[in-house]
Chains A and B, each alone.
Chain A
Amino acid sequence: MKLKFGIKEVVAIGVGTALFVALTEIQIPTGIPNTYLQPRMAVMAFLAAVFGPIVGAVVGFLGHALGDAMFYGSVWWSWVFPDGLVGLIIGLFAAKYAIKEGGFGKKAIILFNVAQIVANAIAWIALAPILDIVIYAEPTDKLLVQGAGAFLGNILIVGILGTLLCAGYSKIGAKSSSLSKED
């Protein structure tokens, strides 16, 4: 896999982060304290799938830190890092999804969802509670419930909305970019 980092990626990080921050506004409550269904996660997964791991990781990390700071006035660092990790893992297989080339079919959908479930599991069931315990010394039970809530919420929203976004964009994007440049 080759890592591409050019002008497009710089701009994608910028606009993607802005998008992530703006979408912090939509939070669908799940009933667990401080835990919501976040459509911004689906958007981050989509950007990672289109632009690759670096864009995914930075949008997740920076977007979460900035969004929380701007909307809620405090940054919960133990949840910022896992968000970057989710973007990174989903983005690793960007070339295989081939979204811009119109190749987001059944196989890619399965790969995308396996990647996002694994990524979310590592991030919210393992990393976030561990960081929470180390950093904030809060009760373990509460953190595990919150972590499990975030895991379920995120795989749900990324699985439904994220997959739809990728499939939709893949269909439309294919028209204009079915030619690929030779290196």
Chain B
Amino acid sequence: MAKILSYEEKDTWIHRLSGVTKLIFFLLWCLTSMLTYDTRILVTMVVLALIIFKISRTEWKQVGAVFKLVLVFLVFNVFAIYIFSPDQGTAVYGTRTVLFHIAGRYDVTKELLFYELNVVIKYFTVIPAVFMFLVTTNPSEFAASLNKIGVSYNIGYAISIALRYIPDVQGEFTKIKHAQEARGIEMSGKASLISRIKNTSTIIFPLIFSSMDRIDVVSNAMELRGYGKHKKRTWYMGKKLQRNDYLAIAFTVAFSVVALAITFADGSRFYNPFV
């Protein structure tokens, strides 16, 4: 089974924050990091994200496997940008300082390297935030808290069911896959594209049918217990927002506003050291 990020119980003030606070932080953080290309802001964000990551006492073994995968994607993306558009840096920053020439239209320019550096830093601002959100948020508490701040409990419940059943469905997937492999069906890259699709369907069909059964069983059980009868419901894991939550939200909002104000102060989202 592939290693995925999941919640682990620990006792730090980040773990004690409401899931909603962490969601607001996560979304605003992503938004800020998406909008800004200001290197100064991005570096500040990386440092802050690493500090938060450290405080949440997340260990390498919880996130290491996923982190390596991200790196592979990152390298891919950086090369793809260069291959498709070796002059992207010039397009963005306006100047062109050639460091050395490779072949044809492929020069290595200072502007390109700086642009790619920004793309890489962008990744590194978001990764710790995603890790922190996933490994410190208790799914049940998260669903309950969503409802507490006014989100419809149907949505809270759907998210809660999703998080609850991911490991189950994943386990079932692995089981079916092993069974099919034992019957001699090739799942790896050795098979051709069409036969890989066909072989994949030998896992997906049983998985879909059992999942459709699961949907029936779970929804019948919920109906029997009177789910959806009343406009409100009570939660076991629900938490009210507390002082620390408000402080964290205030900090996040303030940070995003200041960061975006600095970014767009000169009318462009890029920080340009070349002029």
Residues on A facing B (Cβ under 8 Å) = 5-8, 10-19, 21-23, 25-26, 28-29, 33-34, 37, 39, 42-43, 46, 58, 62-63, 66, 69-75, 77, 135-142, 145-146, 157, 160-161, 164-165, 168-169, 172-173
Name the contact of B30 in the complex, choosing from A19, A77, A142 (C-beta under 8 A): A77
**A-B residue pairs in contact (CB < 8 Å), sample of 26:** A7-B219, A7-B228, A11-B215, A14-B158, A14-B164, A18-B165, A18-B166, A18-B168, A19-B208, A22-B169, A23-B207, A28-B193, A28-B196, A34-B76, A37-B197, A39-B200, A66-B166, A73-B66, A73-B127, A74-B73, A74-B126, A138-B88, A139-B84, A140-B85, A145-B84, A172-B209
Q: Digit string of B42-69 for contact with A (CB within 8 Å is 1, else 0)? A: 0000000000000000000001001101
Q: Closest Cβ of chain A: how far from B159's Cβ, in Å?
A: 7
Alpha-carbon gap, A117 to B101, bound state (A):
43
Q: When chains A and B are docked, how far (Å) is the Cα of A71 from the Cα of B1?
A: 12
By a beta-carbon cutoff of 8 Å, the part of chain B in contact with chain A is 2, 4-6, 30, 34-35, 37, 63, 66-67, 69-70, 73, 76-77, 79-81, 83-85, 88, 91-92, 119, 122-123, 126-127, 130-131, 133-134, 154, 157-166, 168-170, 173, 189, 193, 196-197, 200-201, 203-205, 207-209, 211-212, 214-215, 218-219, 222-223, 227-228, 269-270
- How far, in whole Å, are A16 and B214 apart by their CA atoms in the complex? 10
Which residue of chain B has its CB nearest to the CB of A140?
B85
B5 touches A70 (CB 8 A): yes
